[in-house]
Amino acid sequence: MVVDFYREESDCKIRMEEGEETVFDWSVEDVVRWLRRRGFGDLVDTFSEMLVDGDLLLQLSEKDLKECLGVKNGIVRKRLWREMRKLMRNVDYSFGEGESMAQFLRNISSELVEYTHRLVTFGLTKQYMDTLAIEDVDNALKQAGVDNLAHRYKIKQALRTKPEKVEEYDVYLSYVETSKTLASLVEIYLKMRGLVVFKDLRESTKISEQSLTKIDRSTSFVVVLPTLDTVDDVAKEEFIHAVNAGVNIIPVVEEDFQLLEGGSSVDLAREMVEGRMVVRWIHEYQEASIDKLVDMVRRHSGGWMNHIQFSKIRSVSLDSGIESML
């Protein structure tokens, strides 16, 4: 069996010509042949006696060369270690269990790929290291042969940096301050039905940027309006942002809600409900009310159009001409 080492150094796949075996599968004789080709014939006997095959070769560290294989000459040891590191980085890890580990290390720094086989052989997958405390990760890396302090630091920092989880919501629940009680009731019912709901706590008279972002990440914008059609500044800002963001808007109104004439607040309330499917919350039939609200939210999430005709819908003639549901 002859090893092909006449390829360009940039060739990332170092394989045996016959059978296309990876370095993991090199025999002791293959390792000896590699040593001779690299100019380390004097070390052949030592590596042969210690039965260093391809799998073991990829697990060695510079410290092992000195303490376990007796490579005392510092210059020779550094030359050999340089060739070994080059070999470790160029191995085709897609043919073994180290593919995900190699990719993880490569994303940190290409020079760290040399530790792939060592870490996998030691049982240190990324998933496992994610479960360990940072101090335990450091100890495990040292035991696996990552002797370089800077390299251990880079790996630990990468494990510390978790991808930001983007929260998404089924419903952003907006309300007028005077409808706060009904809004809390609606929130409870929606959550009981398994929907993910965000409701601003109204700790300020101005809406926060965080709340605006949550509207963008919501499927539906449910606005709860009181008996009197007044709209406060926060609800106004939330509604305008939801319209501009293209979020599905579902008004929920009190049982005796009605539109009055005149005033900017009244005009905005009219805009909130006019031409939209509206859930009229009737306390005597609140289970039916929440059924319709949940149905509207889920059907929109599934790509249904807002004008779908639902069962048990009652159209009530109001001044605005809006439709409402039981």
Complete DSSP assignment for 70-138: ----HHHHHHHHHHHHHHHHHS-GGGSTTHHHHHHHHHH-GGGGGGHHHHHHTT--HHHHHTS-HHHHH
**Four-residue CA torsion sign, 21, 23, 28, 33:** positive
* Distance, CA of 148 to chain centre: 30
pLDDT in tens, 170-202: 999 988 778 888 999 999 999 998 999 998 777
Tell whether the model's pLDDT for residue 313 goes beyond 70. Answer: no
Question: Is 220 in contact with 252 (CB distance < 8 Å)?
Answer: no
pTM: 0.46
pLDDT category of residue 2 using cuts at 50, 70 and 90? very low
Question: Is 146 in contact with 152 (CB distance < 8 Å)?
Answer: yes
pLDDT in tens, 99-156: 888 889 989 998 898 888 889 888 888 888 988 888 899 999 998 889 889 999 999 9
Which residue type sits at 99?
A: E
Cβ-Cβ contacts under 8 Å for 148 (sequence gap 6 or more)? none
pLDDT at 19: 29
pLDDT at 185: 92
